[in-house]
Structure 1
Amino acid sequence: MNNTLPDLPLALKSLFTGYIMVVGLGLLVAGGQILMTHGQADGKFGISVNDIVYSYYGDRTNSKLENKLNGSMKDKAPVEERTVLIKWARDGADHAEFKSTVKPIVEQRCAMCHGHKHMMMSLPDITQYDTLKELAQSDKGADITSLTRVSHIHLFGISFIFFFVGYIFSMAVGFNKWVKSILIFVPFAFLIVDVAAWWLTKLNPQFAWMVIIEGFGYSLAATVMLFTSLYQMWVLPYLKTESPH
């Protein structure tokens, strides 16, 4: 069997194309998810250095609750109710006021995702006073436990994606062997530095720019490999057939 993309049998082309389509869609959805979470950490749409700083280092001038209500959770409650929650956090998170004023708002606006009956992806149950009081403290960004969990999921999960993307691209033709090898290796290197940059930003906000650069770097390399693979499997053989001899 010929191990170049243009000469692969139809069954393998179909297999690789299906994988590429799903992975490509997954990368787009992941980008959208980042825009809707980290991308709104500063209250504005789009990824910025401030978004990364607030997500990992935190905005320590305010509480995490206030930053969330003015950022990614801004559309979850009207301004009047968000103001009540923010004022409660600023005034010291009083327990009696939580029961009389804050908890009804939380149960109506937040419990569908942050309640004990509808926990999603280990989100905190903020219908409980102790949990919400902790969020009313100074925002120090991602905690070590969640950062460790996300790091290992990111490293294991995305490395599998890049392995198969690189394997398919390794059959591409027309590339210098060093250029091809570098393109295959780049996403793995950028992935490692990306996760390292999360931890560095947690310690020092000056490293936030690294997170943006590394994420863009491995996304670009993966995009080049995905589109090149599709082109060489389906377009290049047709061009060879149509070209004059």
Structure 2
Amino acid sequence: MQQEKTTWLNLLSVSLPVKALFTGYLLVVGLGLLMAGAQIMLTHGMADGKFGLSVDDIVYSYYGNREGSKLESKLNGSMKDKATPEENLTLIKWARTGASEEEWKSTIKPIVDSKCAVCHAHIDALPNVTQFKTMKEIAKVDEGASVSALTRVSHIHLFGIAFIFFFIGLIFSMSVGFNRWLKALLIFTPFAFLIVDIASWWLTKINPNFAYFVIIGGFGYSLASTVMIFSSLYQMWIMPWRGQQSEQNTWKDA
């Protein structure tokens, strides 16, 4: 296959300040992707109560665990260690028996105030579970992420992550030695898998069998981004140095 022609604007020839700019961006974005992976492991990855992302975690997060309430799913998953096992069991039994307001006042609210209010009553992004009306909704059968939540998160991810992939692809487009079709495919791949990822959230909400596509989408754009990041860093810093070493060795042997 024919390689793309090397132009004057490439990663080997850009100035040192530009290399510093590109390198800083790629390092920070790479670290951000790692933190995003860690955050997924600590939230979605605990949906089934076990550490590590699985298909069940995806199903519970988007389709829900329709054999129980969202409250029960959280208490058996990411919120399991926030209260004692006895307190968690009390909350689960309350949800399963209809979540009465009388028991809420006498038994449940004191537990919530002491173990949950420290975050849920002071962070706007979290539901205020110290209010009976809010807790009553959470105690209903778990149908996964709501349409409003999916809409909000989807548009944030589509806009925000697309910008990240745009600049990674822009820097990688200045690389040399790649066939132009392979380069174009690598640049486009993260965007395609991002669409697959977001679309599969909605599809999993309807049918849990689409949960596999959430994992495929996330893995696909992460792998393509990693290849572009490391290729760009290699060509900016290691490739020119190896070229200089080769020229010096050739001069010595002459």
TM-score higher than 0.5 = yes
| 2:134 equivalent to 1:159 | no
Structure 1's consecutive aligned runs of 4 or more residues displaced over 6 angstroms after TM superposition are none
| 2:168 equivalent to 1:168 | no
Distance in structure 1 (CA, Å) of the matches to 2:161 and 2:129: 31
Could you report, residue by residue, the CA deviation over 1:221-242 in whole angstroms, capped at 9, with x for unpaired residues? 0000001111110000000000
Distance in structure 2 (CA, Å) of the matches to 1:72 and 1:198: 20
- Determine the structure 1 residue equivalent to 2:9: 3
From 55, 58, 74, the counterpart of 2:61: 55
- Determine the structure 2 residue equivalent to 1:31: 37
- Determine the structure 2 residue equivalent to 1:144: 147
User: Which residue identity lines up with residue 78 of structure 1 in the other structure?
Assistant: T
CA-based RMSD of the aligned residues comes to 1.0
Give 5+ residue unaligned stretches, structure 2: 1-6
Q: 5 Å matches for 1:207-222?
A: 207-222=210-225
Task: Give percent identity, aligned residues only.
Answer: 65
TM-score normalised by length of structure 1:
0.97
Distance in structure 2 (CA, Å) of the matches to 1:28 and 1:87: 38
TM-score normalised by length of structure 2:
0.94
Could you report, residue by residue, the CA deviation over 1:67-117 in whole angstroms, capped at 9, with x for unpaired residues? 1000111111110111111111011101011111111111111112211xx
| 2:131 equivalent to 1:128 | yes
1:6 aligns to what SS in structure 2? Answer: coil
1:71 aligns to what SS in structure 2? Answer: coil
From 62, 82, 87, the counterpart of 1:81: 87
Distance in structure 2 (CA, Å) of the matches to 1:57 and 1:66: 15
How far apart are residue 2 of structure 1 and its match? 3.2
- Determine the structure 1 residue equivalent to 2:123: 119
- Determine the structure 2 residue equivalent to 1:187: 190
1:5 aligns to what SS in structure 2? Answer: coil
Computing the radius of gyration from Cα coordinates, the structure with the larger value is 2
**How many aligned positions are there?**
242
User: Which residue identity lines up with residue 210 of structure 2 in the other structure?
Assistant: F
Give 5+ residue unaligned stretches, structure 1: none
